[in-house]
Amino acid sequence: MSKNPIVAGKSSFGLIDPCRLFSELQLERDFVLLDLACGNGAYSIAISKYIGNEGKIYALDLWKEGIDNLTRECTAKQINNIYPSVTDVSKNIPIANHSVDVCLMATVLHDLIQDNTEKGTLKNVKRVLKINGLLAIIEFKKIEGPPGPPLKIRVSPEDIENILYPYGFRIIKTTDVSEYNYLSIFQNISST
Residue 166: is it exposed, middle or buried by C-beta count within 10 angstroms (0-12/13-18/19+)? Answer: exposed
Q: Give pLDDT tens digits for 82-94.
A: 999 999 999 999 9
What average pLDDT does range 23-51 have in this prediction? 94
- pLDDT confidence of residue 10: 66
Whole-number Å distance between alpha carbons of 38 and 14: 14
Of 137 and 29, more confident? 137
Q: Give pLDDT tens digits for 129-167.
A: 999 999 999 999 999 989 999 999 999 999 999 999 999
Domains observed in the chain = 15-21+28-188 (3.40.50.150)
Quick check: 178 pLDDT over 50?
A: yes
Model confidence at 9, in pLDDT bands (50, 70, 90)? low
Q: Give pLDDT tens digits for 135-145.
A: 999 999 999 98
Quick check: 42 pLDDT over 50?
A: yes
Residue 157 — φ and ψ, nearest 5°? -55, -35
